């Protein structure tokens, strides 16, 4: 079972394994059609496509009408139905990939763990690593039988905006923001209506989890990177702009052998929807 990362060569060796489902998670926050268009041109053989906006996210407003962020979690029942449509069973090894260093694939990795499925890994180095070895690509869309994955107890933790707000006073948890440093400081904000960060949060840009070739740093290096920020993973909260790249930091922590941190799913986009919540700018 692969539960964090899988190499291109490992995946290639299992490409025809009936107990394997590969999911293409390519996406572009500025061009929402780009991922599906890229998949149509060519993808790893047998891969199905996951759209971040529809399959991997839920309604932006909750039952109470409150904004939940740009990419709120899907309803668990809807997610289970999607996973079944992709042919996923309780015993399926899932591999997620994208063309962005795991930026979007890590979201599916986390979501599967959220519904209690541990056998999910991200393709290390993504599509670039696969193509660098001239491994099989196709434009054919695979026919998938319906799977029978069942919902089980979550393997991950979440916190709410209220939890994060209460933490500003208590400081019991360490909040880590995965956005780029300039957005964290409140500069060059082009996605959300307000720039800045949650008071007391610390910055760990998700791209710093990667080597120059797009593969994740090794466990020892990631642990050394995170140790000054996260003294106790069980008391840490990962957030970002909308709950997507925070999952990249959660994956990196797992690779580093530092599991247990929680996700704030609504993240900055939900946080600033309520003008009464405090905002900090600068480093």
What residues does 93 pair with on adjacent strands? 20
Average pLDDT of the residues in 152-166: 97
Global pTM reads 0.97
Spot the catalytic one: 230, 240, 252, 256: 240
pLDDT band at 169 (very low <50, low <70, confident <90, very high): confident
pLDDT band at 166 (very low <50, low <70, confident <90, very high): very high
Average pLDDT of the residues in 75-100: 98
So what's the pLDDT on residue 64? 85
So what's the pLDDT on residue 281? 97
* Known catalytic residue at 240: yes
So what's the pLDDT on residue 53? 97
pLDDT band at 65 (very low <50, low <70, confident <90, very high): confident
For every residue of the chain, which 3-state class applies, written as one string? CCCCEECHHHHHHCCCCCCEEEEECCCCCCCCCHHHHHHHHCEECCCEECCCCCCCCCCCECCCCCECCCCCCCCHHHHHHHHHHCCCCCCCEEEEECCCCCCCHHHHHHHHHHCCCCCEEEECCHHHHHHHCCCCEECCCCCCCCCCCCCCCCCCEECCHHHHHHHHHHCCCEEEECCCHHHHHCCCCCCCCCCCECCCCEECCHHHHECCCCCECCHHHHHHHHCCCCCCHHHEEEECCCCCCHHHHHHHHHHCCCCCCEECCCHHHHHCCCCCCCCECCC
Mean pLDDT over the full length of the chain: 97
């Amino acid at each position: 079972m692969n539960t964090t990362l899988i190499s291109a060569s490992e995946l290639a060796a299992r490409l025809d394994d009936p107990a394997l489902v590969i999911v293409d998670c390519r996406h572009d926050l500025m061009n929402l059609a780009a991922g599906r268009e890229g998949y149509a041109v060519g993808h790893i053989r047998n891969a199905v496509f996951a759209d971040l906006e529809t399959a991997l996210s839920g309604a932006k407003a909750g039952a109470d009408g409150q904004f939940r962020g740009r990419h709120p979690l899907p309803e668990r029942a809807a997610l289970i139905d999607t996973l079944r449509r992709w042919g996923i069973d309780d015993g399926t090894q899932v591999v997620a990939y994208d063309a962005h260093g795991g930026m979007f694939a890590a979201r599916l990795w986390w979501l599967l763990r959220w519904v209690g499925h541990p056998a999910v890994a991200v393709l290390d180095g993504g599509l670039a690593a696969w193509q660098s070895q001239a491994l099989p690509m196709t434009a054919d869309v695979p026919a998938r039988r319906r799977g029978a994955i069942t919902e089980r107890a979550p393997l991950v933790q979440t916190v709410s905006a209220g939890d994060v707000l209460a933490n500003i006073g208590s400081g019991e948890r360490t909040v880590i923001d995965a956005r780029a440093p300039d957005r964290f400081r409140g500069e060059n904000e082009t996605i959300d209506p307000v720039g800045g960060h949650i008071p007391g949060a610390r910055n760990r840009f998700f791209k710093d989890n990667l080597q120059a070739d797009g593969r994740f740093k090794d466990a020892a290096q990631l642990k050394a990177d995170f140790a000054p920020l996260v003294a106790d993973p069980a008391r840490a909260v990962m957030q970002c702009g909308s709950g997507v790249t925070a999952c990249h930091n959660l994956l990196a922590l797992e690779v580093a052998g530092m599991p247990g941190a929680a996700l704030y799913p609504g993240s900055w986009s939900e946080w600033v929807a309520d003008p009464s919540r405090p905002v900090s700018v600068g480093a």
